[in-house]
Amino acid sequence: MNARLTLESLIASDGDPDRLVLLRGATVVTMDAERGIIDSGDVLLRGAYIEEVGHELSASAAIVVDVTGSIVAPGMVDTHRHAWQAQMRRTIPDVDDLAGYLQSTLMHVAPAYTPQDVHIGTRLAALTALDGGITTMLDFSHNSRTATHADAAITALIDSGIRGVHASMAPHFGNWDGQWPADLARLRSTYVPNDDQLVTLRMAALATEDIAPHVTYGAELARVAADLDIGVSLDVMFGRGASHAILAWQRQGLLGPHLESIHSTALSADAWAAMRDHGVTVALAPTSDAQIGLEDAVPPVDEALAHGIRPGLSVDVEVALASDMFTQMRALLTIQRMRAVNAAYGTEQDVVRITTRDVLDFATVSGARTLRLDDRTGSITPGKQADLIVVDAEAINTMPLHDPVGTLVLGADRSNITSVWVAGQVRKWDGGLIGVDIDALRTRVHDSVAAIAERLSSAEARR
């Protein structure tokens, strides 16, 4: 069956919980500690789930997809991205510090966003993630000026087909309706009445009061999250202020596995120990810390690993940074290995380097664990949902295939991803997104940028 007919069969049978799909003949990088890498392997899908992984699998009535010459791997997990900003990509590529980002994007541009702009930005970010092999994305949505803005963000995730986590937060600056955090209960009942859905809900908050006190984590927000049985993703988790906050939360009984610590840069040893002892997960933002220069500018992978925490990875802000997970893996690998060798240079110390498998683990199964989704995604394990990518290993930049993990981390890019699957449904096929009118999306994106610019210009003229 050719690629077009196979796609037609897949689309026609979408939603059938008993549909069988057999991916045949790939190098399967399972990221499952018990299964490892399977050469010339097969992956059998039943509906939304992975049924079996192995050699020469067979299933009558299965739709067979020949993936010979490819790598099949788990979809990647972006543990923190501010998706609403996507149509403002690279507007501040050389921003030098957090203050520059806050002033240009959150103080100046964010108040000009309508709900429609939030929807367009979030959808663009989610579709870009899917195109690049990211099947799960946490959207740290901190421009919910009204309930309608929040609706726009979460529906954009739902419409995109990604495994999304809508982490809702009020805006830092400017006018807003004051509906948050109370509006989380409405979002929970309307969109996420249970956690078995493709899009789930979390609270988003900040670590310290110095930027925006009304969105700072503490006893009140902790009660709201506990009442709704949702996790909390904490941004600006760096430096002395966040370290003091972590120890205060420990004394108040507010630490726990429901918390995700984003960045975690330049935290004290005591703060790290407290997070470890209470099961707090960690999301690193390698390019954000290093390129923007947050605190000491060093992604704290060594600190996380020293405390037994395997972190996830994240893109953070596309206004200044790359959009893909390949960049995050390579940046972290390079930074850590450079620092390890540099620290030991001229001494008798052993050099402790992370590996390509480590960063692929951070981008997949550890990222899923960071978001408490590792029971359903992050590895190619029977019983988990079928979030997969198929990567061409015979392309000009990937051939010949010697080490599949090394190829995924150091050789591949989004152009090599031939198909993407989320919960057993194909979202990218033969190198293109399914069901997405790119020309229409492009028009909406440009119209949104023009409308935002007009509002900003009008606001400036009124001053």
pLDDT in tens, 10-58: 998 988 999 999 999 999 999 999 999 999 999 999 999 999 999 999 8
Let me know if residue 441 belongs to a domain.
Answer: no
pLDDT digits (tens, 9 = 90+) for 320-346: 999 999 999 999 999 999 999 999 999
Does residue 44 share a domain with residue 98?
Answer: no
* High-pLDDT (> 70) share of the chain, %: 100
Domain count, the chain: 2
CATH at residue 283? 3.20.20.140
Q: 327 is written with which tokens?
A: 């960049």
User: Are residues 90 and 15 part of one domain?
Assistant: no
Strands 417-422, 425-429: parallel, antiparallel or unpaired by DSSP?
A: antiparallel
Beta bridge partners of 199: 164
pLDDT in tens, 209-243: 999 999 999 999 999 999 999 999 999 999 999 99
Same domain for 191 and 270, yes or no, is: yes
Q: Within a domain: residue 105?
A: yes
Specify the pLDDT at position 463.
72
CATH number at residue 15: 2.30.40.10
Instruction: Give yes or no: residues 309 and 410 share one domain.
Output: no
Same domain assignment for residues 151 and 109:
yes
Residue 459 has pLDDT above 90, yes or no: no
Asked if residue 376 is part of any domain, the answer here is no
pLDDT at 27: 98
pTM value?
0.97
State residue 73's pLDDT score.
Answer: 98
Mean pLDDT value across residues 188-200: 96
pLDDT tens-digit readout, 281-293: 999 999 999 999 9
Q: Do 345 and 392 fall within a single domain?
A: no
The SS3 call for residue 279 is coil
pLDDT, mean over the chain: 97
Report whether pLDDT(102) > 90: yes
Do residues 242 and 277 both lie within one domain? Answer: yes
8: number of Cβ within 10 Å: 12
- Is the pLDDT at 177 greater than 90, yes or no? yes
439 membership: H or E segment, kind and range: helix 438-462
**Tokens found for residue 218:** 């503490």
Strand segments, DSSP code E, in 58-184 are 63-66, 70-74, 76-81, 134-141, 163-168
pLDDT at 314 over 70: yes
What is the predicted pLDDT for the residue at 58?
A: 87
**Is residue 15 in some structural domain?**
yes
Among 345, 370, 395, the domain boundary falls at 370
- The fraction of the chain above a pLDDT of 90, given in percent, is 95
Q: Is residue 379 part of a domain?
A: no
**Based on the domain organization, do 53 and 155 belong to the same domain?**
no
**92 and 38 housed in the same domain:** no
Q: What is the mean pLDDT of residues 382-403?
A: 98
Q: Is the predicted pLDDT of residue 305 greater than 80, yes or no?
A: yes
What pLDDT, in 10s, does the model give residues 106-123?
Answer: 999 999 999 999 999 999
- Domain hosting 401: range is 3-75+387-430
With bands split at pLDDT 50, 70 and 90, how would you rate the model's confidence at 92? very high
Query: Is 132 in the same domain as 264?
Result: yes
Tell me if 451 is assigned to some domain.
no
Query: Is 288 a domain residue?
Result: yes
User: Is residue 282 domain-resident?
Assistant: yes
Q: In the structure encoding, which two tokens stand for residue 339, read together?
A: 């620092």
Q: Do 123 and 25 sit in the same domain of this protein? A: no
* Distance in angstroms (rounded) separating the CA atoms of residues 210 and 190: 33
Q: 154 and 281: one domain?
A: yes
- Give the per-residue pLDDT at 1: 53
Tell me the one-letter amino acid at 109. V
Expressed in angstroms, the distance from the first to the final Cα of the chain is: 64
The pLDDT value given to residue 460: 85
